[in-house]
């Protein structure tokens, strides 16, 4: 991982104002991912590539294009900024002036956050980052296939069982202890060996037997 990026987070940017400066393919990819996450996005550039224009057309209620040069005033109100021009010096200046979060695509160390290689299926997310982006993408694709094959259905089941336990046990600390005890490497090993149904039954039976302790 690039030096200094030591605090991984997942952001809720639904309804947040975001700014992308740049009109090329990278900006188009950033626009799609931000709109998919529910952000309101402004894109500023003198020219927009066809991929970006197509992405903007797909999200008419969330995206607006501003055919203009960068001005610091564009940053006003931006919760998140992406500096995605083909000018490294300009990207550095945008990152330095951004009021909150900024992803500098050309020199990430000049911004304050990076976007990891990401895989998602329903509520199951996987983020992989390293010092080498191509290796991160390779790991994402490899691990994503494992998750898709073995664990997507298990995650849905566990969410349902979590709600069932919540009705039996109102105390968070006790529920936490329960899951730490029962949800362990044995569950993972059973699912990987094709024993997913047995693993589910193990969890369900433990919840059936659960009784709140005084």
- Tens of pLDDT along 103-125? 999 999 999 999 888 898 888 88
Residues in Cβ contact with 156 at an 8 Å cutoff, skipping those fewer than 6 apart: 122, 123
Domain range list for the chain: 17-115, 152-209
pLDDT at 3: 57
Q: Which of 145, 109, 138, 140 is nearest to 127 (CA)?
A: 140
Distances 17 to 46, 140, 177 between C-alpha atoms, Å: 21, 28, 39
Distances 133 to 57, 61, 127, 172 between C-alpha atoms, Å: 29, 32, 12, 39
pLDDT at 46: 97
Give the CATH superfamily of 17-115: NAD(P)-binding Rossmann-like Domain (3.40.50.720)
- How many CA atoms lie within 13 Å of 89's alpha carbon, on the beta-carbon side? 0
Question: Which parts of the chain register pLDDT below 50?
Answer: 214
- Tens of pLDDT along 37-73? 999 999 999 999 999 999 999 999 999 999 999 999 9
pLDDT at 82: 98
Rounded Cα distance, 102 and 82, in Å = 6
Helix (H), strand (E) at residue 45: strand 40-45
pLDDT at 29: 95
């Amino acid at each position: 991982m690039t030096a200094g990026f030591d605090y991984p987070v997942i952001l809720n940017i639904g309804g947040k104002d975001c700014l992308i400066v740049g009109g090329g393919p990278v900006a188009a990819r950033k626009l799609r991912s931000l709109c998919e996450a529910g952000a309101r996005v402004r894109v500023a550039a003198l020219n927009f590539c066809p991929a970006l224009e197509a992405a903007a057309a797909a999200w008419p209620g969330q995206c607006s294009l501003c055919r203009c040069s960068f001005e610091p005033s564009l940053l006003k109100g931006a919760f998140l900024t992406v500096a995605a021009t083909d000018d490294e010096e300009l990207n550095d200046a945008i990152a330095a002036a951004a009021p909150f979060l900024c992803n500098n695509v050309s020199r990430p160390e000049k911004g304050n956050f990076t976007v990891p290689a990401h895989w998602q299926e329903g509520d199951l997310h996987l983020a992989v980052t390293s010092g080498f982006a191509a290796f991160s993408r390779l790991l994402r694709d490899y691990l994503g296939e494992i998750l898709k094959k073995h664990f997507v259905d298990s995650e849905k089941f566990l969410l349902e069982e979590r709600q069932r336990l919540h009705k039996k046990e109102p105390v968070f600390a006790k529920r936490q202890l329960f899951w730490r005890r029962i949800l362990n490497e044995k569950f993972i090993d059973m699912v990987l060996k094709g024993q997913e149904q047995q693993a589910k039954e193990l969890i369900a039976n433990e919840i059936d037997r659960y009784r709140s302790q005084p």
